[in-house]
Structure 1
Amino acid sequence: MAVINLEAEQAVIGGVLLEGELIKECSLLPEHFYKQEHIVIWEAARALDKAKKPVDLVTIVTELGERIEQAGGLKYIQDLAVGVPTTTNFEYYVTAVLDAWKMRKAETQAVELINRVNAERNTDVIAETVQKLTHLDETGQQMDYNHTATLSEVYDEMENQPEGLTGIDTGYVDLNRITNGLNSSDLLIVAARPAMGKTAFVLNVGGNAAGLDKACVSIFSLEMPKKQLIRRMICAIGNIDADKMRNPKSRFSNEDWEKATRAIGIINNMNLHIYDEPGQTVQGIRAKVRRLKNKYPDVPHLVIIDYLQLISYIGRAHNRNEEVAEMSRALKIMAREFELPVVALSQLSRSVEQRQDKRPMLSDLRDSGAVEQDADIIMFLYRDDYYDAQAEKKNVTEVIVGKNRHGATGTVELAFLKEYNKFVSLARG
C-alpha cells in the first residue's frame, strides 16, 4: 500500500499560497507529490517562480487557466490557502512530503527487485537496487552537521571580531554596554504601560540604527499610520516641538521650517521601510522581511513591530494566551531564520498599577508567559514622574533590562524630551 501524506502536501501548497517566496528555497519537484491535483498546482507555482512572477492565490489561479479543474477547482485551492494558519512549520511539511515520496519509491524499487531477481536470477540486481535506495535516501538531505568545522568557524569569528559592538548600535551608550547592540537572531521585547513612550523609543532606536549603522530598518506599525510615525521622527531628529507639528503652517517659525527640512532630508536618506496596513499577520511580515533581505543582502537589518498584541492571528488557538504565544514563537523563528534582530513592543498587565513600586517585572508581561521564554532580551520603560509629580528625577526614563540571555541585566537612564518625542543618553562617557 502506497505511503501517502496528503496533509503535509496540503500544508506545503497552502504555505506557498500564504508566502510565495517560500518556493524559492523549496527543493520539492512536482513528482514528489502524490495527489494529481497537487502536482498540477505545484507545476503552476514553479512556472510562475521561474518566470520571476509573484506566487500567490490569484497568480496561481490565473496561471492554471483552463487547467483549474485538474487542480481541484477554485474552491479547493482557496481551501488550501486558508487551511494553513502559519508557515512556521513549512520545512517540517516539506520533509514529510519528501519522506512519503521516498517510501513510495522504495516500495516500487523493492517490487522491481523481487520481479527482476525471479526473472534474471542474478545477484548483481541486488547491488544495483541497494545503490538506488542509497541515492534515494540522500535525496533532499544536507551534509551531516560537523561540529569540528563549526568550532573552527567560531574560533575564526572570535579571532577576527572587530572591536566595538557585535550588534546594531542603539544610539545609547549605556544600553549598548548591556546588550552589546541589537544582535542578529535575537527577539527583543520592549514593554511598558501606556504613555511611557514605547513607540517614541523604538522610533529613536530605528532612526539611530539607520543613521549610525546604515541598517535597513523595517517598521511594522499596527497602531499608528505611517504619516504619524514620520511626523514623530521629524520632531525627534529636528528637535521640533511636537505640539507645533499639529499645525505647522500657522505655528512654525522660520527656524522650525529649516529644522524640519534638514530632518526630512536625513530621513529620506535612510534605508527605512514603514508598513502600516491594518490586520498584518506574522506570515505577511515574514514575506516583506524576506523581500528586503533579498534586496539588501549586504547591510544589517532591523525589524520593529508596534506592537505584538495587535498582530492578526490566523490559526486555531483556544485562547488569547495561546495566540500570543504562537506569534512570539513565530517572531523568534523569523529572527533566527533571517539572522536579524526583531524588536517587538508589548503591553503590560494592569496589575502594575496596583503595586506601590510600579516598576515593571517579567511577570507583568501581558497575555503570555511564552513571551518571556521566547525573548532573548526584555526591556521595560518606566518613568517615576509619571506616577509622582514630586519625583526627584524629572523626565528621566529608566530602561530596565529585565532579561538578557547573553549577559547581565541592569537599568539605564535616558532623558525623555517629550515635546520632541526624543530619548537622549545621559551617559557621562
Structure 2
Amino acid sequence: MTGDYRLPPRSIESEQSVLGAILLDAQSDRVQTVFSILSAEMFYCQPHVIIYRTVRDMNTRSQAIDLITVSERLESTGGLDCVGGFAYLAELSKNTPSVANVIAYANRVKDFAIERFAIEQANKMLEVFYTPSTLSTAEKLDTMQALAMHTAEKSRTGTVRGAVPFAEAFDSWMNMVEKRLSNDPSAVGISTGIPSLDNLLAPKGLVKGSLFVVGARPKMGKTTLYMKLALHCALMENKPAIAFSLEMPQEQLVERSLSQASGVSSSHFYLDGYEDNRFALASAKGLEIAQTGNLYIDDTPGLSLAHIVAESRRIYRERGAIGMILVDYLTLMKAERTERNDLAYGLITKGLKHLAKELNCVVVLLTQLNRELERRANKRPIPSDSRDTGQIEQDCDYWLGIYRAGAYDEHANQRDTELLLRLNRHGQSGVVFVEQRHGVLYDCDQHHARARMAEAERRSSKQSGGF
C-alpha cells in the first residue's frame, strides 16, 4: 500500500535474478527451460521487458549471450540507455543469488504476471456491467465468461490470444513439432475410434480447433456415430467429451452409449435382461465410463449457442481441457431471429467454429439434410444438401455424410453403411465402409465391403431395367 493506491503484484528481485542468471549461464538446461516458461510481457519492470526480449531473440538465433554481447546488442538497437546502461546489466549479473534457482525465480515472475492479468480482467468484468451499453444481460454474462476463460488460459499457458510476433508463433510451432515427433498425444489430433476412418484422416486425425459436421437423412445412424465419437474420446483418448442432445433425453443417451460401448443390443435392457451376462457386461461398461469422469451429457430442451458456450467453458475451466463437444442436432437449436433461417443457423455454425478454436477441441455438429436428395437417383449426400444451413460449407473443416442403402431398399443389406468424407480442409477426402448392428457401429474390411456394395448396385440396376 502507498497512500490510497494498491501496487500491482510483482517481484522486482525475482525479475532481476532471472535476467542475471541468463547473463551468467544462458546455455544451461535451466535457463533454456526459463525461455519456454516466460514471455517478455510477464515482466513488470519495462527495462526488464526490453532486456528479456533481447536475450530471448538472441537465443532463438543461437547467438552467444553474456554481459558483453547483450550490451552490444542493446546499444545497436538504441535500447542500452533505456535499461540503465552497461552498469545495470553488470549489477544484474553480480547480484544474482543463485543460477541454480532460476526456474523458481521464473515461476514467481510468471505467477505475479498471471495475478496482474487476473486483476485486469476482473476490472474489465466490472466495466461491462457499470458502463451503459446496448448489450443485453445475457450478452454481458457471456462477455464475462469469455474474460474468465482468458484468465484461465493465461494461468495454464502463460499466454492469451491476440497478435503475437512471428518469432513467438514459430517457437510455439517448433515445440509442437518436437512433441509430435516424440509421439506426445497432446500434439496430434483426435482419433474417431473407427480404424478405417482414422486411416483416411491420418496422419493428422481430427485437427483440434475444427468444426466436424455430420449430415444425413433420418434413420441413417447419425446418433450412433455421435455416441461412438463421444465414447472413444472419453475412454480411449482420455479427454472430456460433452454431448449436447436436443433429440433424446439423457436416459436414452445413456442406454445408447452402453449399447455402443459394450456391443450389447439395447433390446436386452427390456426383455429378460437379467437372465444372462449381457446386462452385467453393459453395466460394467457403464461403471467404467462413469469412473473416467470424462463423459458429460446435457439434454436441455431447445438449448441455444450461448448455453453450449457457457457449459463448455465451465467444464474447460474445471478440467483444463476438452477433447470433443458434440451437438445433436443443428436445426433443433434455438436460433436468433433473422430474416432467413440460413442466416440464423449460420450464426450458430460460426459460433461453434469459434468455440472449437477457443477451447482447442473438436466440435462435432449433426445436421439434418433436405428431403429433396431422396428424389435423386444417387441419394448419397453432399454438403449442399444441408437443410437451411448454406453457411456450413464455409464454416466447417470436415463434412461427413452418412448413407445406408437399406434405408431406401428393403432387399439391401441393412447393415452396410457408407461414411462419405466430402470435405477435409486438412487432408484427403474419401469413402469409408462400416456396419451398423443393433445400434452399434463396427469397422469392416474395406475391400470386401466395396466389392459387396458394387455388386448390390449392379443387381439394383438390372432390376430397374438398366444394362
* Shorter-normalised TM range: 0.5 to 0.7
**Partners in 2 of 1:149 and 1:164 — Cα distance?**
21
Instruction: Report the CA distance shift for 1:143/1:332 in structure 2 as closer, same or farther (over 3 A).
Output: closer
- Other-structure match for 1:236: 260
- Other-structure match for 2:74: none
- Other-structure match for 1:155: 174
Counterpart code for 2:248: M
Which stretch shifts more, 159-168 or 328-337? 159-168
Which stretch shifts more, 190-199 or 230-239? 230-239
Preserved contact between residue 414 and residue 426 of structure 1 (Cα < 8 Å): yes
**Partners in 1 of 2:295 and 2:427 — Cα distance?**
30
Alpha-carbon deviation of 1:164?
8.7
SS in 2 for 1:254: coil
- Other-structure match for 2:209: 185
SS in 1 for 2:296: strand
Alpha-carbon deviation of 1:194?
0.1
**Partners in 2 of 1:403 and 1:89 — Cα distance?**
35
Q: Percent identity?
A: 27
Alpha-carbon deviation of 1:262?
1.7
**Partners in 2 of 1:168 and 1:386 — Cα distance?**
30
- Other-structure match for 1:176: 198
1:35-54 paired onto structure 2 within 5 Å: 38-39=129-130
Per-residue CA deviation, residues 138-192 of structure 1 (Å, 9 max, x unaligned), is: xxx9985211221232233223314497212211112112333332110000110
**Partners in 1 of 2:211 and 2:378 — Cα distance?**
27
SS in 2 for 1:161: helix
Given candidates 420, 423, 428, the residue that maps to 2:441 is 423
Task: Note the aligned Cα RMSD (angstroms).
Answer: 3.2
Given candidates 284, 287, 302, the residue that maps to 1:262 is 284
- Other-structure match for 1:12: none
Given candidates 300, 308, 314, the residue that maps to 1:291 is 314
**Is it true that 1:411 corresponds to 2:431 in the alignment?**
yes
**Is it true that 1:390 corresponds to 2:408 in the alignment?**
no
SS in 2 for 1:412: strand
Per-residue CA deviation, residues 388-415 of structure 1 (Å, 9 max, x unaligned), is: 2333x55111110010011110011111
Counterpart code for 2:193: G
**Partners in 2 of 1:185 and 1:354 — Cα distance?**
36
Counterpart code for 2:308: I
Alpha-carbon deviation of 1:252?
4.1
Alpha-carbon deviation of 1:236?
1.9
- Other-structure match for 1:278: 301
1:77-156 paired onto structure 2 within 5 Å: 80-81=136-137, 84=139, 87=142, 145-156=164-175
**Structure possessing the higher radius of gyration over alpha carbons:** 2
Counterpart code for 2:192: T
User: TM-score, normalising length from structure 1?
Assistant: 0.66
Bigger RCO of structures 1 and 2 (CA < 8 A, at least 6 apart)? 1
Preserved contact between residue 88 and residue 330 of structure 1 (Cα < 8 Å): no
Given candidates 28, 39, 44, the residue that maps to 2:124 is 28
**Partners in 2 of 1:427 and 1:174 — Cα distance?**
9
Given candidates 189, 201, 210, the residue that maps to 2:225 is 201
1:306-325 paired onto structure 2 within 5 Å: 306-313=328-335, 315-325=336-346
Gaps of at least 5 residues in structure 1 are 1-21, 43-70, 93-140
**Partners in 2 of 1:386 and 1:351 — Cα distance?**
15
Alpha-carbon deviation of 1:251?
4.7
Counterpart code for 1:202: Y
Counterpart code for 1:375: C
**Partners in 1 of 2:216 and 2:342 — Cα distance?**
18
Gaps of at least 5 residues in structure 2 are 1-117, 148-159, 448-467
Instruction: Report the CA distance shift for 1:237/1:145 in structure 2 as closer, same or farther (over 3 A).
Output: closer
Instruction: Report the CA distance shift for 1:27/1:85 in structure 2 as closer, same or farther (over 3 A).
Output: closer
Counterpart code for 1:324: Y
**Is it true that 1:361 corresponds to 2:377 in the alignment?**
no
Per-residue CA deviation, residues 35-92 of structure 1 (Å, 9 max, x unaligned), is: xxx53xx7xxxxxxxxxxxxxxxxxxxxxxxxxxxx9xxxx99x8326x499589989
**Partners in 1 of 2:398 and 2:172 — Cα distance?**
25
- Other-structure match for 1:125: none
**Partners in 1 of 2:125 and 2:379 — Cα distance?**
57
SS in 2 for 1:183: coil
Instruction: Report the CA distance shift for 1:404/1:234 in structure 2 as closer, same or farther (over 3 A).
Output: same
SS in 2 for 1:285: helix
**Is it true that 1:222 corresponds to 2:233 in the alignment?**
no
Counterpart code for 2:295: L
Alpha-carbon deviation of 1:337?
1.0
**Partners in 2 of 1:29 and 1:282 — Cα distance?**
21
**Partners in 2 of 1:219 and 1:363 — Cα distance?**
26
**Partners in 2 of 1:408 and 1:241 — Cα distance?**
34
Alpha-carbon deviation of 1:300?
4.5
**Partners in 2 of 1:231 and 1:23 — Cα distance?**
46
- Equivalenced residue count is 312
Alpha-carbon deviation of 1:277?
1.2
**Partners in 1 of 2:388 and 2:125 — Cα distance?**
41
Preserved contact between residue 212 and residue 363 of structure 2 (Cα < 8 Å): yes
- Other-structure match for 1:54: none
Counterpart code for 2:228: N
Counterpart code for 1:288: E
Alpha-carbon deviation of 1:428?
7.0
SS in 1 for 2:403: strand
**Partners in 1 of 2:162 and 2:414 — Cα distance?**
59
- Other-structure match for 1:303: 325
**Partners in 2 of 1:333 and 1:88 — Cα distance?**
14
**Partners in 2 of 1:414 and 1:199 — Cα distance?**
15
**Partners in 1 of 2:144 and 2:342 — Cα distance?**
20
**Partners in 1 of 2:387 and 2:119 — Cα distance?**
36
Counterpart code for 2:265: D
Alpha-carbon deviation of 1:254?
2.2
- Other-structure match for 1:399: 419
**Partners in 2 of 1:285 and 1:151 — Cα distance?**
33
SS in 2 for 1:416: strand
Preserved contact between residue 212 and residue 396 of structure 2 (Cα < 8 Å): yes
**Partners in 1 of 2:345 and 2:432 — Cα distance?**
28
